[in-house]
């Protein structure tokens, strides 16, 4: 099939490259000409494992093209995916002005029947607004359908998530659109759930909010574990063995970040409030997440007594491993808080340092984990990169001024760390 992807950001690029990989003809559109020049060369402006290879392979095979014109793409393609950004406004609501602008542009360019699919994460009822915008702007007599097909891609594993999904959700209002979208996803052999458009939109916001709720829940349990000397990993293991609860997303740490959970929770909260259904549980989930970062700083302070004039080596800045994304990364708030207490920070991240630089002033960025440890009063782990797991801890201990380790991601075995001579502090684990 011929597919147009409007918006070549993270979601658009992964979606475009994967559809091309499945054998479809894809055009990815963007209004950033510089970005298009880079992409046409098969290079990718973001770090996502496997994406650059997939793009360059499909560009070479002629299945993936890049273009600046929405009009051209609408004429060429029978299905159009809206993958533009829906950034948060100051009040937490999603800013849908890019979605509206794209819907209008598609509408005025429609030559014949097209399916317009929203893939960007949007509040419920956006599909209705897109359909209305299309109706108000398109040439009369040309048929179209609007659909919702939320993405469930996690950064770092996005290609696998796309090609081997747990489910594909298709929200439609016509059999014709359903047939087109089923055909599109047929090569994946994944379970397909067909719903109405509003339910599909809600599935996305409800899923992200539920996952974030699990994280905040376990983070509070981890504080209780700290208070009584229990082990949160064992508590999570025991809870997760119940299939009604499930074991994933019960990893305690320094809180969730990234451009999805914090933004989507706020947007979900706003849309519920607007509809007169205050979702206070989500307020609490967000608040716990903020507290968790301060809680971690307090943990450091209570071990180190005074923070003024102390130097900390920070390992990991990205909001999670496998990405260079720094948006809403817990590291930013934690480092700023530590600096406000007079701490000097030396930091290392295998991928995210260039994105971190503009966000973190007065941090010394170093070239390796060992450099971060050299001469520091303690080591602080904020992202669970696997290279931190397999460090030579005898060397780390020699480099540190004091053998103190704050493990914000529960990466290490407390007993082993103790054996190596470290004063180890995890999240909700007896040290």
Q: Which residues are annotated as catalytic?
A: 260
Asked whether position 257 contacts ligand UGA by CB under 6 A, the answer is yes
Q: According to the binding rule CB under 6 A, does residue 385 interact with ligand UGA?
A: no
Q: Based on CB atoms, which residue is closest to ligand UGA, 330 or 403? A: 330
Among 251, 299, 327, 355, the residue binding ligand UGA under the rule CB under 6 A is 251
Shortest spacing between CB 94 and ligand UGA, in angstroms: 12
Please name the residues in contact with 312: beta carbons below 8 A apart, sequence gap of 6 or more: 300, 338, 343, 344, 345, 346, 376, 377, 378, 379, 380
Q: Does the footprint of ligand UGA cover residue 320 (CB under 6 A)? A: yes
Any contact of residue 428 with ligand UGA (CB under 6 A)?
no
Q: Is 201 in the site for ligand UGA (CB under 6 A)?
A: no
Element at 193 (helix H, strand E): strand 192-195
Provide the β-strand partners of residue 363.
345
Q: What is the pattern of x (binds ligand UGA, CB under 6 A) and - over residues 2-21?
A: --------------------
Which two tokens mark 68? 């600046």
Q: Which residues on neighbouring strands pair with residue 3, listed in sequence order? A: 26, 79
Q: Which stretch binds ligand UGA (CB under 6 A): 83-91, 127-135, 244-252, 345-353?
A: 244-252
Verify binding: residue 153, ligand UGA, rule CB under 6 A: yes
Of 48, 118, 145, 155, the one binding ligand UGA (CB under 6 A) is: 155
Q: Is 293 in the site for ligand UGA (CB under 6 A)?
A: no
Q: Which residues pair with 5 in a beta bridge?
A: 28, 81
Strands of the sheet with 423-425, listed across from one edge: 363-365, 344-348, 311-315, 378-381, 404-407, 423-425
Taking alpha carbons only, the member of 37, 64, 62 closest to residue 51 is 64
**Least distance from ligand UGA to the Cβ atom of residue 337, Å:** 17
- Please identify which residue in 72, 98, 129, 249 interacts with ligand UGA, judged by CB under 6 A: 249
Q: Is 250 in the site for ligand UGA (CB under 6 A)?
A: yes
Cα→Cα distances 156→39, 51, 128, 150, 412, Å: 19, 10, 32, 18, 21
Q: Which residue number, 146 or 236, has a Cβ lying nearer to ligand UGA?
A: 236
Q: Could you tell me if 219 and 249 are in contact, meaning their C-beta atoms sit under 8 angstroms apart?
A: no
The structure tokens 């376990």 sit at 218
- 30 binds ligand UGA, rule: CB under 6 A: no
Give Dmax (Cα) for the chain: 76
Q: Which residues form the interface with ligand UGA (CB under 6 A)? A: 121, 151-155, 208, 211, 215, 249-251, 253, 256-258, 260-261, 264, 319-320
């Amino acid at each position: 099939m011929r597919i147009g992807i409007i918006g070549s950001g993270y979601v658009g690029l992964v979606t475009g490259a994967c559809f091309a990989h499945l054998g479809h003809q894809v055009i990815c559109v963007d209004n950033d000409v510089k970005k298009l020049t880079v992409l046409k060369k098969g290079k990718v402006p973001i770090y996502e494992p496997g994406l650059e290879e997939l793009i360059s392979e499909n560009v070479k095979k002629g299945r993936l093209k890049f273009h600046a014109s929405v009009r051209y793409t609408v004429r060429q393609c029978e299905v159009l995916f809206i993958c533009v950004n829906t950034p948060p406004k100051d009040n937490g609501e999603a800013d849908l002005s890019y979605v509206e602008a794209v819907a209008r542009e598609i509408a005025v360019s429609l030559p014949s029947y097209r399916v317009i699919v929203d893939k960007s994460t949007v509040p419920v009822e956006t599909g209705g607004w897109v359909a209305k915008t299309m109706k108000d702007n398109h040439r009369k007599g040309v048929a179209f359908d609007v659909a919702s097909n939320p993405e469930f891609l996690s950064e770092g594993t996005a290609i696998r998530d796309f090609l081997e999904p747990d489910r594909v959700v298709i929200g439609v209002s016509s059999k014709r659109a359903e047939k087109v979208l089923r055909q599109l996803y047929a090569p994946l052999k994944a379970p397909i759930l067909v719903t109405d458009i509003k339910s599909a939109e809600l599935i996305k916001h409800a899923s992200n909010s539920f996952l974030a709720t699990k994280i905040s829940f376990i983070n509070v349990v981890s504080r209780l574990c700290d208070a009584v000397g229990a082990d949160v990993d064992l508590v999570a293991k025991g809870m997760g063995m119940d299939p009604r609860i499930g074991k994933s997303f019960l990893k305690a740490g320094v809180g969730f970040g990234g451009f999805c959970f914090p933004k989507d929770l706020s947007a979900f909260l706003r849309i519920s409030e607007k509809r007169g259904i205050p979702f206070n549980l989500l307020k609490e989930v967000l608040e716990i997440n903020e507290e968790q970062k301060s809680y971690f700083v307090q943990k450091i302070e209570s071990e180190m007594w005074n923070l003024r004039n102390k130097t900390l080596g920070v390992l990991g800045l990205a909001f999670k491993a496998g990405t260079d994304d720094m948006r809403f990364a817990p590291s930013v708030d934690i480092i700023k808080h530590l600096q406000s207490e007079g701490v000097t920070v030396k930091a290392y991240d295998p991928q995210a340092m260039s994105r971190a630089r503009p966000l973190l002033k007065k941090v010394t960025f170093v070239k390796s984990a060992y450099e971060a440890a050299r001469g520091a009063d303690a080591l602080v782990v904020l992202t669970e990169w696997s290279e931190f797991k397999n460090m030579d801890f005898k060397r780390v201990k020699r480099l540190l001024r004091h053998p103190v380790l704050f493990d914000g991601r529960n990466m290490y075995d407390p007993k082993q760390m103790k054996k190596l001579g470290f004063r180890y502090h995890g999240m909700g684990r007896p040290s």
